[in-house]
Amino acid sequence: MIGRMAPFRFGFNFLDLGARAEFLARCRRGEDLGYDVALVPDHLGAPAPFPAMVAAAEATERLRVGTFVLNNGFWNPHLLAREVATADVLTGGRVELGLGAGHMKWEFDAAGIPWEPFAARAERLSRTVEELSAIFGGPGYPEGAAVKEHYGLAELRPVQRHGFGGHGPPLLIGGTGDGVLSVAARHADIIGIAGTYQVRDEPPGTFRLGKAEEADERIRFVGERAGDRFGDLELNLLVQLVMVTGDRRAAAEELATRQPHLTVDEILDCPFLLIGTVEQMAEQLRAGLERYGFSYITVHSPFMEAFGPVIEHLKSR
């Protein structure tokens, strides 16, 4: 039992953009429902994260905005630093930067980026975090001084002084593997547990849902490697399904026909699935906060409305 009773925060993760008016309306609706963060993933064919984040912040009053999560293999640290700093300035310091090692091989292939073994991708992620910390906290680019003086340019910096050694926005690192979670334990302010695992001996990107016992083990793994830092970390849970129903077991029995890796009881105990009434889902999240330490709850945008009453229930108690 973790017993980390941090306040809840709630996020929704965009899977599509839609028309401009639709996107902005969804952002405002999320804010009205009580969400704290609007999040954008980083996949080919999906919205470009940073323009979407700035638009979401502009459309709302208080929503923080973040990447959930960037595919680190797509990004050069110096160019990424510029994007992060620009977005943080334009949103008035509302950015949360989420990073991951990348897991869809086809995206690397399509972008012409070499696909590396998992350990190499985790090491690249660690180097990116270290380089971002050096860029945000360093003296800037002395080589560009003449250009800056000629044009009157100032060195662009993030507004926030939270993550990256106190020089940038909060850093979330998400994943399930040992390599990425080890990097997260060393560097992140927020650690995201997605709950999807690569199926052994299947092509990259073939996933199954994790079980409750696996979530327990991953949290223990992070705690051992984070050491004294662990008590200050925020733990994020990505919910893969929200199903409102008055009969949890019947819904789980139907879902088990599409989840061959999980039994009905494992589905009912799975922290990454919310099934039941609003009250039952709220109680599951309270129990998950105590068992795992998950206080930052994210749902995919198709479940934004269904999960809204759960937020209201939790925030009213």
DSSP state of 73: G
Determine the angle formed by the axes of helices 20-33 and 304-315, rounding to 10 degrees.
20
Separation CA 68–CA 60 (nearest Å)? 19
Separation CA 201–CA 309 (nearest Å)? 40
In a domain, residue 26? The reply is: yes
In a domain, residue 19? The reply is: yes
For the record, the structure tokens of 194 come out as 């997605």
Q: Nearest 10 degrees: CA dihedral of 72, 78, 81, 82?
A: -120
Q: What is the pLDDT of residue 5?
A: 60
Check: CB of residue 257 under 8 Å from CB of residue 180.
no
User: Which ranges of 237-303 would DSSP assign to H, the alpha helix?
Assistant: 248-256, 264-269, 278-291
Phi then psi for residue 271, to 5 deg, are: -70, -15
Separation CA 84–CA 132 (nearest Å)? 10
Please name the helix (run of DSSP H) or strand (run of DSSP E) that holds residue 180, with its range, or none: helix 178-187
In a domain, residue 118? The reply is: yes
CA angle 148, 153, 157 (to 5 degrees): 110
29 by Cβ neighbours in 10 Å (0-12 / 13-18 / 19+) ranks as middle
In a domain, residue 309? The reply is: no
Q: What is the pLDDT of residue 3?
A: 41
In a domain, residue 24? The reply is: yes
* Number of domains making up the chain: 1
In a domain, residue 184? The reply is: yes
Check: CB of residue 35 under 8 Å from CB of residue 72.
no
Written as tens digits, the pLDDT of the chain (317 aa) is: 344 568 999 999 998 999 999 999 999 999 999 999 999 999 999 999 999 999 999 999 999 999 999 999 999 999 999 999 999 999 999 999 999 999 899 999 999 999 999 999 999 999 999 999 999 999 888 888 777 777 767 789 999 999 999 999 999 999 999 999 999 999 999 999 988 888 888 887 788 999 999 999 999 999 999 999 999 999 999 999 999 999 999 999 999 999 888 999 999 999 999 999 999 999 999 999 999 999 999 999 999 999 999 999 999 87
What CATH number does residue 116 fall under? Answer: 3.20.20.30
Q: What is the pLDDT of residue 1?
A: 39
In a domain, residue 280? The reply is: no
DSSP state of 169: S
In a domain, residue 292? The reply is: no
**Residue 215 domain boundaries:** 9-238
Dihedral of alpha carbons 307, 309, 314, 315, sign: positive
